[in-house]
Structure 1
Amino acid sequence: MVPKAELHCHIEGAAPPELVERQAQKYGKDISAFVRDGAFVWHDFTSFLATYDAAAGLFRTGEDYALLAEHYLTGLAREGALYSEIFISPDHARTAGLPPAKYTDALGEGIRRAKEKTGIEARMIVTGIRHYGPEAVEAAARFAADCRHRLVTGFGMAGEERFGDSRDYIRAFDIARDAGLGITVHAGELAGWESVAAALDHYRPSRIGHGVRAIENPDLVRKIADESVVLEVCPVSNVALQVFPDFAHHPFPQLRTAGCRLTLNSDDPPYFATSLAREYEVAAQHFGLTEGELAGITRVAIEAAFVDERTRARLLASLEQHTPDETKL
């Protein structure tokens, strides 16, 4: 099994339908409008966000979130993952009636339990929700900067990337950067290459969530490669949301040939009938990556992870140890 690492997964979006159903029973909620026959129901990005928010609203206590993080990371470890970064949302915590600090502590407890069981290492990336507006994103950045939780190591922005003017969010990223947090931002998914260019110009991230629409501008692709900006690519999500019609049209191979540093990620796995293991399988089956090249993708993720250097060195050593000799680069 090729060792894996993931940089792009929204923790609320990692809750499978069966866990959401148990939460609904716990709180006496009818979820038939968005969970049917053991699957989430949505038909476009707007309805996806609505379903996502409704399901997230069923996680309301610290123990709910600890269970969610433990459940996801334990399963991820079974797929061969050494490392995971989860996007966390103070806004979703507040909507659920949970103070963000308690939410973060609970997720940290879930991470601790998963590590104790499996050895998987994990960190949290606080995200602002773009379509909630600049003030909300800035508040999320301030929380990330001030919470001082040892597992909160980065800040990013998710949500509807076609909303608002990118310049209105600069202050939020400055707050996070000044606090020493790693910077990532969703761009170039549903919006075009201009979204990626604006993110690079205004926020100076070391990573871009998705970023695949950069393929529309060869000069931008060269800039991403030259500046070693890492792209958190989510192939199955991209096809499910019809960013590209199928894997044959996905630009992963072209971006890789151009010298871009790419990782593989599951985004919101149960919503897209995927997993981190499936993303690696897609890369092998549809993009032609060998096991050695897949191990190289994992190496890129660990090198780009928002961790201290001692942890990074340990993860890289573990990658080397768990990579079969015949697949090593």
Structure 2
Amino acid sequence: MEADVTTARSIRALPKAHLHLHFTGSMRHSTLVELAGRHGVHLPDALVEDWPPRLRATDERGWFRFQRLYDIARSVLREPQDVYRLLREAAEDEAAEGSGWLEIQVDPSGYAGRFGGLTPTVELVLDAARRAEAATGVGIGVVIAANRTKHPLDAKTLARLAVRYAGRGVVGFGLSNDERRGRAYEFEGAFRIARRGGLLSTPHGGELVGPASIRECLEFLGADRIGHGVRAVEDRRLLERIVEREITLEVCPASNVALGVAPSAAAVPVRELFEAGARLALGADDPLLFGSRLARQYELARTEHGFTDAELAELARASVRGSAAPEDVRKRLLDDIDAWLAAPAGRVSGPRSTALDVPGGR
């Protein structure tokens, strides 16, 4: 199923919000290589000559390899100036992709050892976000994420820390890493702290594990959004509940293909979820490892699922409505989406993506 892209509007010109982007995973590949050379970090071939790496995380061995590559990439962030650079470049890339609001997810415990502890790490990230916002005009909110492979008490520590910075740049509390190694209900206490502190609940669920994972995120974590959530299509009653409660699903098509969740971009159930009435916010997840950024996800919706410009505009609206953006930013973006759709359609402008953007699809 393909839309006619010869008369379609530019996807990069479509205003949108980006709600599913991980901190290290947002790094430019060129920056990774440069920082590795500067700090003496050896990069495996999968992060240099064979980039983007061929990944598959549907078994524990595959997830371990994915996590190992992510950890190696994270290790190149050695100095505060590296963090400032990462967030500035991430915001510049978001601006180029048409994103006016970014929510970037970070587990500060993964960086605390080299930046003086959890609190100094969070303050560094927030200051870097403020500077990147000022430099680019892209609004940035930070989601503090717990690691589901660690003890729930660690998650409570992070939740309390996140609440301390609610209203000062931290907008949500998440839960990431391998669903098979940590059940959502075990983190109920941490999410209770975060929700009482006014933060959005944004756990991952329904990526590597089926509908039961999503159900736990709803029942025990009070999820406002679900990271991924594509496996909801396997349980019609669950999907109806998601629609009824207006839960936003952060769907990441290229990521789903790269990790083996779906065999192809066409098999990611974007159309099925959309037609069921679910709110979908497309996300790039980890561009550093998957090789594509936000605009490419919208291109896949257009080319692989036949989304019209009006439907793409609705995806963009859902991303804004599901965000924690301030009201003035939300209104501006929604007005600009309407203006994008009202403008005459023309030949797609700007750089076109290549097969490299979808690992495994070359």
Structure 2 counterparts to residues 76-225 of structure 1, below 5 A = 76-148=94-166, 150-225=168-243
CA RMSD of aligned residues (A): 1.9
1:32 aligns with 2:75: no
For 2:311, the equivalent position in structure 1 comes to 293
Question: TM-score when scaled to structure 1?
Answer: 0.93
Select which of 30, 49, 66 maps to 1:48.
66
Deviation at 1:324, TM superposition (A): 4.5
Superposed CA deviations along residues 236-266 of structure 1, whole A, max 9, x for unmatched, are 1001111011122211111111111111100
Cα distance in structure 2, aligned partners of 1:224 and 1:170: 19
Residue in 1 that maps onto 2:266: 248
Residue number among 285, 292, 300 corresponding to 1:267 in the alignment: 285
Give 1:140 shift.
1.4
3-state SS of the aligned residue for 1:8? strand
2:283 corresponds to 1:257: no
> Percent identity of the aligned residues?
33
- For residues 101-135 of structure 1, give each alpha carbon's deviation from its aligned partner in whole angstroms, at most 9, with x where no partner exists: 33333333333333333321111111011112212
Distance 2:272 2:63 in 1: 26
How far is the alpha carbon of 1:205 from its aligned partner?
A: 0.9
Q: Does 1:8 align with 2:20?
A: yes
CA distance in 1: counterparts of 2:323 and 2:225, whole angstroms = 9
Give 1:37 deviation, angstroms. 1.1
Deviations 1:160-214 (A, max 9, x none): 1111333211000001011111111100000111100111111111110000011
Q: CA deviation at 1:26?
A: 2.2
Q: TM-score, normalised by structure 2?
A: 0.85
* Matches of 1:233 and 1:223, distance apart in 2: 17
CA distance in 2, matches of 1:324, 1:107: 38
2:322 alignment partner in structure 1: 304
Other structure's SS at 2:22 match: coil
Residue 19 of structure 1 corresponds to 31
**Displacement of 1:42 after TM fit?**
5.6
> Tell me, which stretches of 5 or more residues in structure 1 are unaligned?
none
1:18-73 alpha-carbon deviations (Å, 9 max, x no partner): 21122222222222365231625463222111110121122133221111011111
Distance verdict in 2 for CA 1:96–1:149, change over 3 Å: farther
Compared with structure 1, are the counterparts of its residues 149 and 303 closer, same or farther at alpha carbon in structure 2 (3 Å cutoff)? closer
Moved more, 22-31 or 82-91: 22-31
Aligned-partner Cα distance in 2 for 1:77–1:139: 33
Separation in 1, partners of 2:190, 2:78: 26
The answer (yes or no) to whether the contact 2:281–2:316 under 8 Å persists in 1 is yes
Q: Distance in 2 between matches of 1:159 and 1:108?
A: 22
Q: Check the 8 A contact 1:42/1:48 in 2, yes or no.
A: no
Partner of 1:280: 298
Query: d(CA) in 2 for partners of 1:101 and 1:63?
Result: 17
Is the aligned partner of 1:239 residue 2:257? Answer: yes
The CA distance in 2 between the partners of 1:326 and 1:217, in whole Å, is 40
Separation (CA, whole Å) in 1 of partners of 2:150 and 2:159: 13
The Cα offsets for residues 281-315 of structure 1, whole Å up to 9 and x where unpaired, read as: 00100111112221211111111111333432233
User: Are the equivalent residues in 2 in contact too, given 1:247–1:286 (CA < 8 A)?
Assistant: yes
Whether 1:230 and 2:248 are equivalent positions in the alignment is yes
**How many residues are treated as equivalent by the alignment?**
327
2:54–2:258 CA contact under 8 A, matched in 1: no
Whichever residue aligns with residue 79 of structure 2, its letter is T
Runs of 4+ aligned structure 1 residues displaced above 4 Å come to 321-324
Q: Which amino acid aligns with 2:243?
A: A
Higher relative contact order (CA 8 A, sep 6+): 2
